[in-house]
Amino acid sequence: MTELTALTLTDAVEGLRTKRFSAEEITRAHLEAMEGARTLNAFTVETPDRALEMARASDARIARGEGGPLEGAPLGVKDLFSTEGVETTAGSRILQGFKPPYESTVTANLWRDGAVMLGKLNMDEFAMGSSNETSAWGPVANPWRSRGSNASLTPGGSSGGSASAVAADLCLGATASDTGGSIRQPAAFTGTVGIKPTYGRCSRWGMVAFASSLDQAGPITRSVSDAALMLRSMSGHDPKDSTSLPVETPDFTQFVGRDVRGLRVGVPREYRVDGMPAEIEQLWEQGVAWLRDAGCEIVEVSLPHTRYALPAYYIVAPAEASSNLARYDGMRFGYRAGGGTLTEVYENTRAEGFGDEVKRRILIGTYVLSAGFYDAYYLRALKVRRRIADDFDRAWETCDALLTPSTPTAAFALGDKDADPVTMYLNDVFTVPANLAGLPGISVPAGLDANGLPLGLQLVGRALDEGTLFSLAGALEQAAAFRAKPERWWS
Ligand code: GLN
């Protein structure tokens, strides 16, 4: 039998249901793998006691024939999902020691369906970053390394812990979140599948907020079917989040493996960016060929406002962040610094509690929202955002989904881009438009570059049409037949 930790989520759930192994066994196998992989720094908190308790409860339910759709499956949780009684810091010192008295809706949905929590996963501080290097708890290592090199690479960010843990077989799947690419970019960097669903598909209740009009939860997994299975459990209307959509959750798993003949796939001409490595370009063309061979009709489309997406995102996201992060004053959550007066306590707490990137965003956000600059920056960015959404609406007249690279490069070295924030922001060029427009996007591993590092292709779809994305992603997955695994240098 395949090692229990190397199973897909789908196969593991089936093996549990048919009692080929117990939830306790598969949970112990994962806890052991986590222990052996601490050099990756993927987990910020391990919860072995809770995991075993949940696993035993799963085994009892399976014995009674009552298991849920994820019964007994060990998962990791990005550390911005509040977990009752378990430290939740969102990668920030300012939340150090914060144990939420409530459970986020997304994680509650997973536990309702029988999943087992292994622990909390490292991430960029407040999800601000593309390399996991802004985490107060140190960077995460990508299990993948360039051929012939021992240099540590980033797993991407902000869901770096989630991606690294899934790629290194430390959990069967992980929750993640995506404000500007934080599910899809780390998935691309680690050879895993990541989907950011339509804005409003998953409840944001109990998620530590970064930019509320962009934040969306989704899974990182090792296969497209796994992503469909996990997203189905995570999704659903929640009256506690006013932006949660009052719609039924389709059975996403039914879409994987469906015939894609006749679907029209758009190739946006503006996504050919300067300086993009030839390998990414080639992979993209390969992706087009795969979908054409599968019977899709390929159409060229134009998204003329694409080049304004990054600048608009880096105004809207910091603006919302500066407002959301105002609540961290040392009074209610986590860390509190000393000081002679109340104002000093506030100031010291924020000065010591936030890292540099978070401070940069608060400064930018406060600036673009200030009386003299609101119209010139924030309001204008909102208008650009509307235009970007209009571009997509126009594209849907001639196609059913778009195919693009997930990222402009493969995983880069730790320390490579942290000197210049703008170089780091350029990583998000292909992913932010979907956030600005609220559309679903999925990254599928599609090949390896010349250094043996994974590369991903992205599909973007109409609002609430994750089904079509799952069908197309399934076709890509089948054609790409990506089976490569990183060498286990960490254990
Ligand atoms: N890299 C982007 C940023 O730093 C996106 C992060 C995210 O999606 N959470 O804002």
SS (H, E, C) 450-478: CCCCEEEEEEEECCCCHHHHHHHHHHHHH
Query: Cα angle vertex 75, ends 80, 65, to 5°?
Result: 130
* Average pLDDT score over residue span 367-393: 98
pLDDT interval class at 44 (50, 70, 90)? very high
Q: Please report the atom of ligand 1 found closest to the CA of residue 178.
A: 8
Residue 416 placed within a domain: no
* Average pLDDT score over residue span 287-301: 98
Q: Does ligand 1 come within 6 angstroms of the Cβ of 400? A: no
Say if residue 273's pLDDT is above 90: no
pLDDT in tens, 155-174: 999 999 999 999 999 999 99
pLDDT interval class at 275 (50, 70, 90)? confident
Cα–ligand 1 centroid distance for 238 (angstroms): 25
Task: Indicate the Cα dihedral angle 445, 177, 462, 286, nearest 10°.
Answer: -10
Percent residues over pLDDT 70 in the chain: 100
Full strand arrangement of the beta sheet holding 193-196: 43-46, 116-121, 74-78, 173-178, 216-221, 193-196, 441-448, 454-461, 401-405, 264-268, 297-301
Of the candidates 204, 216, 171, 207, the residue with the CA atom closest to the CA atom of residue 190: 171
Residue 21 placed within a domain: yes
State the number of CA atoms in the 13 A half-sphere of 410 facing the CB: 24
Q: Does ligand 1 come within 6 angstroms of the Cβ of 471? A: no
Cα–ligand 1 centroid distance for 22 (angstroms): 38
Residue 274 placed within a domain: no
| Candidate from 90-99, 422-431, 456-465 with smallest mean pLDDT | 422-431
Query: Cα angle vertex 165, ends 418, 76, to 5°?
Result: 115
pLDDT in tens, 326-364: 999 999 999 999 999 999 999 999 999 999 999 999 999
Residue 443 placed within a domain: no
Residue 95 placed within a domain: yes
Q: Does ligand 1 come within 6 angstroms of the Cβ of 130? A: yes
pLDDT at 274: 82
pLDDT at 2: 63
Cα(458)–Cα(434) distance, integer angstroms: 11
Q: Please report the atom of ligand 1 found closest to the CA of residue 313.
A: 10
CATH number, domain containing residue 36: 3.90.1300.10
Q: Domain containing 176: what range?
A: 2-258
pLDDT interval class at 419 (50, 70, 90)? confident
Q: Which amino acid is it at 105?
A: T
* Average pLDDT score over residue span 463-474: 98
pLDDT at 412: 96
Say if residue 16's pLDDT is above 90: yes
* Average pLDDT score over residue span 433-447: 98
pLDDT at 1: 46
Residue 464 placed within a domain: no
Q: Could you tell me if 234 and 219 are in contact, meaning their C-beta atoms sit under 8 angstroms apart?
A: yes
Cα–ligand 1 centroid distance for 480 (angstroms): 27
Of the candidates 155, 119, 114, the residue with the CA atom closest to the CA atom of residue 138: 155
Say if residue 263's pLDDT is above 50: yes
Percent residues over pLDDT 90 in the chain: 96
Residues serving a catalytic function are: 78, 158, 182
pLDDT in tens, 202-243: 999 999 999 999 999 999 999 999 999 999 999 999 999 999
SS3 408: coil
293: Cα separation from own chain's centroid: 30
Domain count, the chain: 1
Q: For a ligand 1 pocket test, name from 128, 212, 427 the mutation site with the most ligand atoms within 8 angstroms of its C-beta.
A: 128
Residue 482 placed within a domain: no
Residue 388 placed within a domain: no
Q: What is the pTM of this model?
A: 0.98
